[in-house]
Structure 1
Amino acid sequence: MPKRVLLIGYYYPPEGGVGAVRIAKFAKYLSDRLDIHVISSQPNQNNRPSGVSDESGATVHRVKRPFNGVEKNFDNIRWSIPVSRKIHNLHDEFHFDCIWQTANPFLPLATVPFCKKIIDTDFIVDLRDSWTLHPYNDLTTTFGRLYEKTSQFLEPRVLRAADAVTVATDGIRNAYADEYPEISGKLYTVENGYDREDFPQLETKPRDEFEIVYAGKFSDFRDPDPFLKALSDIQSQYNVSFVHVGNLEEHVRDSIKRYGLKQHYECTGYVDRKEVARRIQRANLGLAVSGGSPQEMTTKIFDYMACNTPILGCGPDGSMIEVIERFEFGYVATNETSRIKNTLLEIIEQQPESLGSGPYAEYTRERSAKKLANVIRNVVE
């Protein structure tokens, strides 16, 4: 009889986002070897369709969100109480061999030390991003400071209560092993990855120019200026266009104007996953920009892998750069204009038609699910 495992995540399809996709893909690829149940919040009906579906066949249990409307980080802690109650009731009925709970949001992880005292089963905590060690937190508001204090109180208690901790990058694992050496032996890297089924080969229109695509948000911690200045500098030599697949960001628009790139720039706005795939497949190069932390592994590089599109990664040595460098036409540069410019010129001269050879199989969602299954096996046996 297969082991029965409960996966818990605040977001789950039909909602989108990296967090929803992470738990959904584990549910999909673990269901062929484990009896998978999922606890998630009720989806927000006001959100636009995400294009992400639940393909797992898992049994999904919904727990109402604390309230409807715009949520702040601190609000999510109120989900912990009904979730703890749901975990207890479901465990009485199904007798789970293991419970895995993923974050962000982080504060609902308060369920772990509480439930460990009343439920006799193993708990695995999953940190998709760093919690208190996140390099890009900006907690200057009153609620931000309250969130920080609460997180500093909860994080060590959650991690020490867990039987294992999975994280999405080696950089995060190293940071937490340094901060909490007593838990280093129960830290495991289980990466995100790509699902080839999400990226079928699509018909694309031929391009007249060299096209660079960026899929997703820059946010306020990734600096696009060095890349955009480099792009401006090479326009006198080559006709290169830049396509930002995602919603318009004001600081990006301002930089586009500042560097005279308006005629070479397109921002698609929100598009569904099929159109994201089409845009990546038609591009000559996929761009990834790090916020500057070695912990970071932007998931867009997995989308580029799935589409076999050459990659330019701009950032310091760390998790993202290490992966990109493993591919034949994966290029890297520090996030400095001169380095990026020289690398762009090299790429345009070479005109690679694909990402080339590399360890694609190591970065599939199926492979990640197998790694998580091994962690679960180690914990419960």
Structure 2
Amino acid sequence: MKKVLIITYYWPPAGGPGVQRWLKFVKYLRDFNIEPIVFIPENPNYPITDAAFLKEVPEGIKIIQQPIFEPYQLASFLSSKKTKRISSGIIQTKNQSTLEKILLWIRGNLFIPDARKYWIKPSVKAIANILQQESIDTVITTGPPHSVHLIGLGLKEKLGVTWLADFRDPWTTIGYHKKLKLTEGAKRKHKFLEKRVLNVADHVIVTSPSTKSEFQALTQQPISVITNGFDEYHITEQPLDKEFTMVHIGSLLTGRNPENLWRVLSEIISENIAFKKIFKLRLVGVVSKDVLETIYAYKLRPFVDLVGYVSHDAALQLQKQSQVLLLTEINAKETQGIIPGKLFEYLAAKRPILAIGPRNWDVSAILEDTNAGKTFEYTDDLRLKELLLEWFNNYQNSGLEIYSTNIDTYSRRELTRKLAAII
């Protein structure tokens, strides 16, 4: 059985979508004659945690921990709320305090590529010994944080190991990158490191076709698309919500703010008494202040149910109960290749998906292929309104259903099969 070392920052009990991709790969790799060994930080500063993921770690998997120093730990003494928000990617664009501006400048310019940079050198040293002891010749790094890729770079240069670099998100074109108040020197350093990783890694793995196209302009190394996916969970079946619920699961960050949806919902509520009586917008997870202010500006406050963060199990249950599942992404060319991990669990829930994002968003092709929902741009009002009224009419009459197809190609086990072939 071939051994591989997987280097990741996010691992249970970390919560959120970042932990799930490699937790699931590790779960199924043994089915394809590959034994994963996982290298993680010993004392990480996770923005959110979810102890439920701990029970999904396969029995007998060897996990090696290396201490990490993170500047967030020091900054939190100044403002724990602000540093936690920044570390989880929520960057307010309005009414930033002087402290928040300073923290952003420090984060963007002094900690390149990110605040986990101090984990690189000690990890390279520790892993060099591990590879020899375990007879491992293949390492896999996954980012963000992209400092993890610099561990892979160090190992490749020092030992010549086979190195696979997995990008769950892009590097310099990620939505929040422009908000970090980067100097020109810092921008150049980010781009230099990005290009170096892409050209030294033996194989690059990305989660979307758009990211593959972006990286192909920077490297001649082989690039494969392995999207995120869904796992089979045994969720107790419950009746659908009696209200006409539109549910968003996960962080609704600054910029993921589809004003046309809030406007259309406000119009329908003012025009349709039946809709007004039974509509509910349920937001599960952290919601940016900017987004809430926009929602409330359209007089939707009475219809909003702010649930906050829930366990993964609870989120899965909410998805299956919902009438409509909402998916949003920042309206920018740079986000065309962002396919939120929650999309695939939405597919597994088999509820209608309403997706609002940028033009030529990679999500559109997936929804068309699976017949699981509809995608709209931020400027699309009329068709959006027509679809919502159509779905509401179905809900009132025979019940709102979706008849999706081709979903199995996005199961975690099938995606692991593709990864195993690369390894």
Give the CA deviation at 1:43.
4.5
Contact 2:250–2:285 (8 Å) recurs in 1? yes
Contact 1:326–1:358 (8 Å) recurs in 2? yes
Alignment partner of 1:117 is 2:157? yes
Q: Which secondary structure state, in structure 1, belongs to the residue aligned with residue 282 of structure 2?
A: strand
Q: Which secondary structure state, in structure 2, belongs to the residue aligned with residue 137 of structure 1?
A: helix
The match for 1:379 is none
CA pair 253-96 structure 1, distance change in 2 beyond 3 A? same
> Match for 2:385: what amino acid?
K
> Match for 1:215: what amino acid?
I
Contact 1:42–1:62 (8 Å) recurs in 2? yes
Contact 2:7–2:140 (8 Å) recurs in 1? yes
Q: Deviations over 1:188-225 (max 9, x none)?
A: 0011111122x613435x64431110111221121232
Q: Deviations over 1:61-100 (max 9, x none)?
A: 0111124715646321111111101220101101213111
Q: Distance in 1 between matches of 2:413 and 2:154?
A: 32
Q: Distance in 2 between matches of 1:46 and 1:114?
A: 25
Q: Distance in 1 between matches of 2:404 and 2:20?
A: 26
Equivalent of 1:220 in 236, 254, 260: 254
Equivalent of 2:62 in 59, 62, 66: 59
The match for 2:288 is 249
> Match for 1:283: what amino acid?
S
Contact 1:126–1:166 (8 Å) recurs in 2? yes
Q: Deviations over 1:222-245 (max 9, x none)?
A: 123211111111113223211011
Alignment partner of 1:346 is 2:346? no
CA pair 45-169 structure 1, distance change in 2 beyond 3 A? closer
> Match for 1:56: what amino acid?
P
Q: Deviations over 1:23-78 (max 9, x none)?
A: 11111111332111010112547866413224223211011112471564632111
Q: Which secondary structure state, in structure 2, belongs to the residue aligned with residue 266 of structure 1?
A: strand
Alignment partner of 1:6 is 2:5? yes
The match for 1:288 is 327
Alignment partner of 1:173 is 2:212? yes
Q: Distance in 2 between matches of 1:47 and 1:317?
A: 31
Mean Cα deviation higher: 210-219 or 72-81 = 72-81
Contact 1:30–1:369 (8 Å) recurs in 2? yes
CA RMSD of aligned residues (A): 2.2
Contact 1:15–1:43 (8 Å) recurs in 2? no
> Match for 1:280: what amino acid?
Q
Q: Following superposition of structure 1 onto structure 2, how do residues 1-381 of structure 1 map, counting pairs within 5 Å?
A: 2-32=1-31, 33-44=33-44, 49-50=49-50, 51-53=52-54, 54-57=56-59, 58-67=61-70, 69=73, 70=76, 72=107, 74-141=114-181, 148-177=187-216, 179-183=217-221, 186-197=222-233, 200-204=235-239, 207-235=241-269, 236-237=271-272, 238-239=275-276, 240-292=279-331, 293-315=335-357, 316-336=359-379, 337-351=381-395, 353-376=400-423
- Note the residue ranges of structure 2 that are not aligned, 5 or more in a row: 77-86, 88-106
> Match for 1:221: what amino acid?
G
Q: Which secondary structure state, in structure 1, belongs to the residue aligned with residue 229 of structure 2?
A: coil
Q: Deviations over 1:119-146 (max 9, x none)?
A: 242100011100123244224436x766
Contact 1:327–1:355 (8 Å) recurs in 2? no
Contact 2:15–2:48 (8 Å) recurs in 1? no
Q: Distance in 2 between matches of 1:319 and 1:116?
A: 32
- Note the residue ranges of structure 1 that are not aligned, 5 or more in a row: 377-381
Q: Which secondary structure state, in structure 1, belongs to the residue aligned with residue 374 of structure 2?
A: strand
Mean Cα deviation higher: 43-52 or 14-23 = 43-52
CA pair 297-47 structure 1, distance change in 2 beyond 3 A? closer
Q: Distance in 2 between matches of 1:312 and 1:44?
A: 35
Q: Distance in 2 between matches of 1:117 and 1:16?
A: 33
Q: Distance in 1 between matches of 2:417 and 2:336?
A: 25
CA pair 304-201 structure 1, distance change in 2 beyond 3 A? farther
Contact 2:245–2:324 (8 Å) recurs in 1? yes
Contact 1:328–1:358 (8 Å) recurs in 2? yes
Contact 1:133–1:175 (8 Å) recurs in 2? no
CA pair 147-342 structure 1, distance change in 2 beyond 3 A? farther
CA pair 200-43 structure 1, distance change in 2 beyond 3 A? farther
Higher helix share: 2
